[in-house]
Amino acid sequence: MAGPSKEKKTLQMTVQTVWEARKSIQSVVKKTPLIHSKKLSAQYGATIYLKYEHLHESNAFKMRGAVNAINHLTAEEKAHGVTTFSTGNHGLAVALAAKKMGIRACICVSKHVPTVKLAAIKELGAELEIYGEAQDDAEQRCYQLEKEQGLAVIPPFDHPHVIAGQGTIALEILEDLPQVDCVIGGLSGGGLLSGIGLVMKQTNPDIRVFGVSMEKGAAMHESLQAGKTVSVTEESTLADSLLGGIGSNNRYTFQMTKNYVDKSFLIPEHSIAKGMAYLYKEHHIMVEGAAAIGVGALLDELLPIDRQENIVLIISGCNVDGVSHFKAIESYI
């Protein structure tokens, strides 16, 4: 697998880095609401909040990291344009950020990325390359474009400015809920929970951070279990945004996830569908499986949660096709 040719030195990640990211993105990325879920709290016996990251213009939290990373490019790099590899949401974020800045963007995806996300990327005017059976294949093509055309690679997770951008979610949570006890979010490449975990653990080591993934193709979960980065086979799942490898040359998110995420859990497809249906019925939002996976895990009591805690669930995105969404959840409505 190809690797990045630039930024060979591993940068030190700190909470200050995240505050710098907040200032960097504030003109483009707006704060999202933290919603108290009264019914879920009553049903589960805890105080539960939902962080509405699906309300970003790109319909997912990925906008934070994409904007921060592109803002740190030089003028020369911006003139050449950017490229990335993605399971969809990061590609959408990079395409939108590039459009706002007048920069060329080429998004590389595998054959498993849903059609609704491909169409959205095209609508933003970005170039789209569908390459291979897995995100690792799309990554390889991405670095080919860097070498051949000089495009700057904006990785989807294993990049300090991307991680710092996602970490701004934690700053907002602490502003609105200083007494937070536990944060639960989807675990894929680890960019989301690396940034959130960094801020939470350095603020208060007792704040717990849980990662949730689908049962098959959970690369970070399997890597954590093995104690080293491993490759997994991608399979169809309602939580398609959580697919993708973490890279054999991973420099940031594997170690940060190991350091800052207390535990990761595998969640079955029926629980993910149940979470999607619950958010549609009770909160009137149509979100993708990766956004509802934490809710589903709570509904089926798959997580070791103290009933007296203040819990925040990251509702990560809503880039989902309406027809397929209802087919997935119809038996739970």
Higher pLDDT, 48 or 109: 48
At 269, the amino acid letter reads E
Query: Taking 50 as the threshold, does the pLDDT of residue 227 lie above it?
Result: yes
pLDDT of residue 202: 97
* 3-state percent breakdown (helix, strand, coil) of the chain, nearest 5: 50, 15, 35
Give residue-wise pLDDT tens across range 188-221: 999 999 999 999 999 999 999 999 999 999 999 9
pLDDT of residue 136: 81
Element (H, E) at 167: helix 160-176
pLDDT of residue 116: 81
**Mean pLDDT, the chain, as a whole number?**
92
* All domains in the chain, ordered by first residue: 18-61+160-332 (3.40.50.1100), 63-153 (3.40.50.1100)
Q: How far is CA 247 from CA 136, 239, 314, in A?
A: 7, 20, 24
Q: What angle do CA 269, 316, 176 make, to 5 degrees?
A: 130
pLDDT of residue 176: 98
Say how far apart CA 54 and CA 318 lie, in whole Å: 5
pLDDT of residue 133: 80
Say how far apart CA 191 and CA 195 lie, in whole Å: 6
Question: Residue 275: what are its φ and ψ, rounded to 5°?
Answer: -65, -40
For 158-193, b/e burial (b = at least 16 CB within 10 A) is bbbbbbbbbbbbbbbbbebbeebbbbbbbbbbbbbb
pLDDT-derived band of residue 3, with 50, 70 and 90 as boundaries? very low
The torsion angle over the Cα atoms of residues 57, 61, 63 and 69, rounded to 10 degrees, is 170
Give residue-wise pLDDT tens across range 261-316: 999 999 999 999 999 999 999 999 999 999 999 999 999 999 998 888 999 999 99
Query: Taking 50 as the threshold, does the pLDDT of residue 6 lie above it?
Result: no
Give the lowest-confidence range in 131-135, 163-167, 250-254, 283-287. Answer: 131-135
Question: Residue 269: what are its φ and ψ, rounded to 5°?
Answer: -60, -40
pLDDT of residue 10: 62
182-186 β-sheet, strand order: 34-36, 47-52, 310-315, 182-186, 208-214, 263-267
What average pLDDT score do residues 18-36 get? 97
Give residue-wise pLDDT tens across range 48-81: 999 999 999 999 999 999 999 999 999 999 999 9
| Percentage of the chain modeled with pLDDT above 70 | 96
Q: What angle do CA 122, 125, 131 make, to 5 degrees?
A: 45
pLDDT of residue 327: 81
- What global pTM score does this model have? 0.93
Question: Residue 70: what are its φ and ψ, rounded to 5°?
Answer: -65, -35
Query: Taking 50 as the threshold, does the pLDDT of residue 328 lie above it?
Result: yes
Say how far apart CA 244 and CA 180 lie, in whole Å: 30
pLDDT of residue 274: 96
pLDDT of residue 8: 52
| Percentage of the chain modeled with pLDDT above 90 | 77
pLDDT of residue 9: 60
Q: What angle do CA 178, 164, 62 make, to 5 degrees?
A: 95
